[in-house]
Amino acid sequence: LKRSSPDPPPAATQRHPPPRAMGTSRRTALKGEQYEKNIGKPSSSKKKDKAPFTVGPMVLALFLFVVVGSAILQIISSAQKGLV
């Protein structure tokens, strides 16, 4: 008993999904293949060293002055109104 054509492979073993309504460009397909090859591999990008201070000390001092100063003024203001 010979069959005229071989059975197609099951859907789970096919390498590429069936075509969709819009085709992908060759560049997109190549990028997708590159991405799939890199899955599970450690990152090849070099880790960049961060600067020790991302905000300068003067900016941090100004921020603290404004925040603490406004909190103190709020406490004084509410104390004068008798809310504390």
CA dihedral 38, 42, 46, 51 (to 10 degrees): 130
For residue range 55-71, list pLDDT tens digits in order: 888 999 999 999 999 99
Give the whole-angstrom CA distance, residue 31 versus residue 25: 10
Q: What does pTM read for this prediction?
A: 0.37
For residue range 9-60, list pLDDT tens digits in order: 555 555 666 655 566 788 998 998 888 888 888 776 666 666 666 888 899 9
Six-digit token pair at 72? 């103190």
